[in-house]
Amino acid sequence: MAKSKILLGLGLCLAMHSATADDSAPAKAWEHYKQHFISQDGRVIDIYQSRVSHSEGQGYGMLLAERFNDRRLFDTLWNWTRNNLQARRDGLLAWNWGQRPNGQWNVIDYNTASDGDLLVAFALARAGQRWQAPAYTDEARRLAKALRENVAAEQQGISYLLTGYYGYADEKGGLVLNPAYQIPSAYRAMGELDDKAFWEKVEQGGATLWQAACDNPSGLPADWLAVRKGKAGTDEGHPAHFGYEAIRVYLYADWLEPYQSPCGGEQLLERYRKDKRLAPWYGLDGKTASKDEASAGYYAIASRLAERLGRGEEAKKLRETADKQIAWDPDGYYAYSLYLLAVAPR
């Protein structure tokens, strides 16, 4: 396969960052991230959540190590992930690792989080390409196959990856899905390594889910949806919010070329212009919102969104806020992860 085709499949042809950004801020944030959130043996630590580790966090750390061209750290992160989370017979990752009630540190929950597996596989695929390391590519292929064989679902001809191996079906037989688990550039990378037709269908299903997520008075994507007979609606088991989860829809859309603007982007920027700030969540009723201010990660993602939509001055202001605020939350693993994934080298 031609190298150019692989690069396109991996979603590496991504947009350049705004020239107005503080070029030193991402490097400083990355140094803090490595020292504060990554243990010497390669565990990404969520300090606010009792210092646990997630498959998602390992995927974020691996993607960042690849972006910053740090193969030694990438190896350390992957070795910890493989040795501690790849504890299921089906080859997927246990999603949650931390301190058990008896004081031992081990897997807490053996269920999967499909975005965690997908992020790790995506990082491995990118690393295999960057460093010409077939072993990484083979591991990515194995994870892609395990996802396809164990967490795939179809309703009314629309294909999805389940949120987890079990526990994400509602009482009415619907699938409980998270729009922020849809990562189109990762789906394309998996399609280059595994069953291309399957991953194309999953990407199409994800695009359908993104569009359905905005079918509410706010126009913003919902954090969670329930899909019944192919139709998506707000999941009653989660708050009717856009926020902590769905902000990543705009992050993952930004990773894809050619760029396809997801729904709700204009509405989010309009809320920013109106309120002079971003909130960590907005109600899907279009009326309610948190009184708190969003983290640096939100501002960094919104900056990329504004730049994609041709709003250069707004993008600059959002990025300046992100660069300032990132230092205000030194223990915020999630805020730092989103910030770096939005502004790190591509």
In angstroms, the CA 246 to CA 244 distance is: 6
What's the pTM value of the predicted model, to 2 decimals? 0.93
DSSP state of 46: B
Orientation angle between helical segments 184-193 and 196-213, nearest 10 degrees: 170
All structural domains of the chain with their residue ranges: 44-133
Our measurement of the distance from residue 64's CA atom to the centroid of its chain's CA atoms, rounded to an integer in Å, reads 12
pLDDT band at 22 (very low <50, low <70, confident <90, very high): low
pLDDT of residue 6: 38
Range scoring the smallest mean pLDDT among 12-16, 39-43, 179-183, 296-300: 12-16
Q: Give the model confidence (pLDDT) of 90-137 as tens digits.
A: 999 999 999 999 999 999 999 999 999 999 999 999 999 999 999 999
pLDDT of residue 170: 67
Residue 173 CB neighbours (<10 A): 10
> Which residues share a beta bridge with 175?
169, 227
Q: Is 194 a catalytic residue?
A: no
Question: What's the one-letter identity of residue 290?
Answer: S
pLDDT of residue 21: 55
Q: Is the pLDDT of residue 229 over 90?
A: no
Our measurement of the distance from residue 16's CA atom to the centroid of its chain's CA atoms, rounded to an integer in Å, reads 20
Instruction: Look at residues 152, 164, 159, 253 and name the one whose alpha carbon lies nearest to residue 210.
Output: 253
In angstroms, the CA 113 to CA 129 distance is: 25
State the catalytic residue, choosing from 46, 56, 307, 323.
56
State the catalytic residue, choosing from 46, 66, 115, 139.
115
pLDDT band at 148 (very low <50, low <70, confident <90, very high): very high
Q: Is the pLDDT of residue 11 over 50?
A: no
> Which residues share a beta bridge with 231?
228
DSSP state of 331: T
pLDDT band at 185 (very low <50, low <70, confident <90, very high): very high
- Mean pLDDT confidence for 20-42: 91
> Which backbone phi and psi does 109 adopt, to 5 degrees?
-140, 120
Contact 254, 305 (CB under 8 A): yes
Q: Is 56 a catalytic residue?
A: yes
Q: Give the model confidence (pLDDT) of 317-334 as tens digits.
A: 999 999 999 999 999 999
